[in-house]
Amino acid sequence: MSQGAPGLTHLLRRGSSVYNHSFRFVLHMQKGESQQKLARDIMARVASSMEQLREENQRDRL
Amino acid sequence: MSTLDDPTLLTAMSPLGFFFTESRHGRVRWTMCANDMCHKNKLLSDFFLSGKTLPIVRGAGQQQPVLTLVAEQLRDHGDWLHVFPEGRVRQDGQMNPLKSGLANVLCDVADTKPIVLPFHHSGMERVIRAHTARPMINNRVRIVVGEPIYLDDLLLRCRKVRLD
């Protein structure tokens, strides 16, 4: 028992470290995806505005 | 569109003295140009850098140092950035899909509430035709300037993402 405890502690610490890294990685991925989605939303709004201006420009030319 | 849209259109739309007094007010726009066009050699590079044109590498993604530099200029000095978000010249009157690098710059400076002012122009494709460097005169160029694009809600979400 006295020999097994350090091994168990080590195992728990290692498991905890792996969990923390995984958790941070998942958070990082979620953040990345969220920023990408935001970028798409922003550009969609810019594109919509640009398309309106393009149509207006074409109407003026005719 | 043509390869000379910037700076010719902006010069035409601005008061004549604005560009000549840059050293006093520092408010002339920043822009970016592909490094294989505007920064091919030292002479060209110095010329374009003195016109506040920074080198961007096509296909190198959105983590390029130049984008960080641009974001710093916008955030710290409230400067003006002019970009064609399509990224390439197209001369058939249609628009290419917009690249999202601009959105990431906007997200990076979301705290400063950047203003996005869109404009669309047509006719420059007849002034400078593809694969030629000789400008053609007697062509009408039409520019439509829009209202500032409302992005407050999205920029707020950017701020939240950055805080998380």
Per residue in B11-31, pLDDT tens?
888 898 888 888 889 999 999
Tell me which residue in B95, B142, B154 faces A38 most closely, judged by beta carbons.
B154
- Residues with Cβ within 8 Å of residue B28, at least 6 apart in sequence: B18, B19, B22, B52, B80
Is residue B144 classed as helix, strand or coil in its secondary structure?
Answer: strand
Average of per-residue pLDDT across B31-38 = 90
- Given a cut of 90, whether residue B45 has pLDDT beyond it is yes
Q: Chain A residues with CB inside 8 Å of B120's CB?
A: 50, 53-54, 56-57
Q: What is the pLDDT of residue B59?
A: 84
Average of per-residue pLDDT across A44-62 = 89
- Given a cut of 70, whether residue B83 has pLDDT beyond it is yes
Name the pairing type of β-strands B119-122 and B142-145. Answer: antiparallel
- Tell me what the pLDDT averaged over chain B comes to: 88
Tell me which residue in A31, A45, A54 faces B120 most closely, judged by beta carbons.
A54
- What does each C-alpha distance from B152 to A45, B51, B149 come to in angstroms? 12, 31, 9
Whole-prediction pTM value?
0.77
Q: What is the pLDDT of residue A25?
A: 59
How sure is the predictor about B153, in pLDDT bands with cuts at 50, 70 and 90? very high
CA dihedral A36, A40, A41, A43 (to 10 degrees): 130
Residue B125 domain boundaries = 5-163
For the range B62-65, what are the long-range contacts, defined as Cβ-Cβ under 8 Å and sequence gap of 24 or more? Answer: B62/B100, B62/B101, B62/B104
- Given a cut of 90, whether residue A45 has pLDDT beyond it is yes
How far A7 CA lies from chain B's nearest CA (Å)? 36
The tens digit of pLDDT for each residue in A9-37 reads 777 777 777 766 666 656 555 555 577 88
Q: Specify the number of domains making up chain B.
A: 1
Q: In 3D, which of B98, B108, B103, B28 has the Cα closest to residue B69? A: B108
Cβ-defined contact of A46 to B142 (cutoff 8 Å): no
CB of B151 within 8 Å of any CB in chain A?
yes
Name the closest residue on chain A to residue B151, using Cα atoms. A42
